[in-house]
Amino acid sequence: MSTVRFDSTTKYYATSSLVVGYALCSSLLAVINKFAITKFNYPGLLTALQYLTSALGVWVLGKFGTLHHDPFTLDIAKKFLPAAFVFYLAIFTNTNLLRHANVDTFIVFRSLTPLLVAIADTSFRRQPCPSKLTFLSLVIILGGAVGYVATDSAFTLTAYSWAFAYLVTITTEMVYIKHMVMNLGLNTWGFVLYNNLLSLMMAPIFWVLTGEYREVFDALGANAGNWFEPVAFTAVSLSCLFGLLISFFGFAARRAISATAFTVTGVVNKFLTVVINVLIWDKHATPFGLVCLLFTLAGGVLYQQSVTGPPRESTASKQTNDQNEDDDVEQNQSVPGKLASK
């Protein structure tokens, strides 16, 4: 009896540690990424460093036997490449959004994704129309977002152009990966490895297309920029580290708790992000804007409740798969958060 009680207690604390670890990483990631892009204003290079850290971390831990990932093969890489390209675009637009806007703006547009996904599912995947409760939650999300945008004193065309680009790419990523990537039979860490390694290979192309390579070489040649400035180095290191940590804690927490509990944790994380963002600096919305943001998050809570079915095995499995796709970007933001904030 004492042995059973000890095992139960150990399992409880282990599960609690995973949930707390995921909550801290997820809550801090968007703020850390905003801090990193503020101190190290090279979004393409920053995301490449994050991809490198995550891919190398998975490979090294696999060599030590800490985790198991699918081997990297050219055949699977060719099939995975379109999904990785969409993922890269989502992270790319996410990083540039955080570069030009505050964290609150990122959360508002991130919270709008269920609305576009519902429209895409109904229009392209021939899914049933949302229920009345789901429709109400989507209206609340939209109303909160419109109120936030209308009162955003920091509104700029550049910031909101990146915000709409991010909204389109993250929605496409969520719908597309559901159809393609999940059919490849990759395990969780194999997904992380392929996503980050292929994205790392694509990074130089975007450096050239965006002209960022000129800024990088000019900074190196003139010995300008905060390349070895302690604050910038710390910010970039934390961003890369938390991008890898959120992958570990996120995937481990999914296995340890139910899909519903994981979803609730994800929603609470957004509230914590708002609180942390308000407390640590002045890069946040106005009081009315924060109220609109809370309405948007409340609509997200109502949405999750409306699409959570009875506790059957098939339903739980479907929720787990959907949540995997919804959080993969934030977890790899590295993300901007989402690796998250992927």
Q: How confident is the model at residue 284 (pLDDT cuts 50, 70, 90)?
A: low
- Write down the mean pLDDT value for the chain: 75
What average pLDDT does the segment 209-228 reach?
73
Q: What's the confidence (pLDDT) of residue 126?
A: 67
Q: What's the confidence (pLDDT) of residue 37?
A: 87
Q: How confident is the model at residue 12 (pLDDT cuts 50, 70, 90)?
A: low
* pTM across the whole model: 0.71
Q: How confident is the model at residue 180 (pLDDT cuts 50, 70, 90)?
A: low
293 and 108 Cβ atoms separated by less than 8 Å = yes
CA torsion sign, 254 to 171 to 209 to 181?
positive
Q: What's the confidence (pLDDT) of residue 314?
A: 40
Asked if the model's pLDDT at residue 40 lies above 80, the reply is yes
Q: Where are the alpha helices (DSSP H) in the chain?
A: 2-39, 43-63, 74-100, 103-111, 113-124, 132-150, 157-179, 188-210, 212-222, 230-256, 259-280, 287-307, 313-331
283 and 35 Cβ atoms separated by less than 8 Å = no
Cβ neighbours of residue 103 closer than 8 Å, sequence gap 6 or more: 30, 31, 34, 273, 274, 277, 283, 284
CA torsion sign, 145 to 298 to 123 to 254?
positive
100 and 158 Cβ atoms separated by less than 8 Å = yes
40 three-state secondary structure: coil
Q: CB 104: neighbour CB atoms within 10 A?
A: 25
What average pLDDT does the segment 207-224 reach?
79
Give me the DSSP letters along 160-201: HHHHHHHHHHHHHHHHHHHHTGGGTT--HHHHHHHHHHHHHH
Q: Which residue has the tokens 């997904």?
A: 191
Residue 332 and residue 281: Cα distance in Å, rounded?
24
Most confident segment among 19-23, 39-43, 311-315, 330-334: 39-43
Q: What's the confidence (pLDDT) of residue 68?
A: 87
Residue 87 and residue 324: Cα distance in Å, rounded?
13
Asked if the model's pLDDT at residue 320 lies above 50, the reply is no
Q: Cβ-count burial of 279 within 10 angstroms (0-12 exposed, 13-18 middle, 19+ buried)?
A: exposed
What average pLDDT does the segment 117-138 reach?
73
- What digits encode the pLDDT tens for the residues 189-201? 888 899 889 999 9
Residue 319 and residue 322: Cα distance in Å, rounded?
5
Domain boundaries along the sequence of the chain: 11-218+229-308
Asked if the model's pLDDT at residue 228 lies above 80, the reply is no
Asked if the model's pLDDT at residue 251 lies above 70, the reply is no
pLDDT above 90 as % of the chain = 9
Q: What's the confidence (pLDDT) of residue 24?
A: 82
Residue 230 and residue 239: Cα distance in Å, rounded?
14
Q: What's the confidence (pLDDT) of residue 60?
A: 92
Q: How confident is the model at residue 316 (pLDDT cuts 50, 70, 90)?
A: very low
Asked if the model's pLDDT at residue 45 lies above 50, the reply is yes
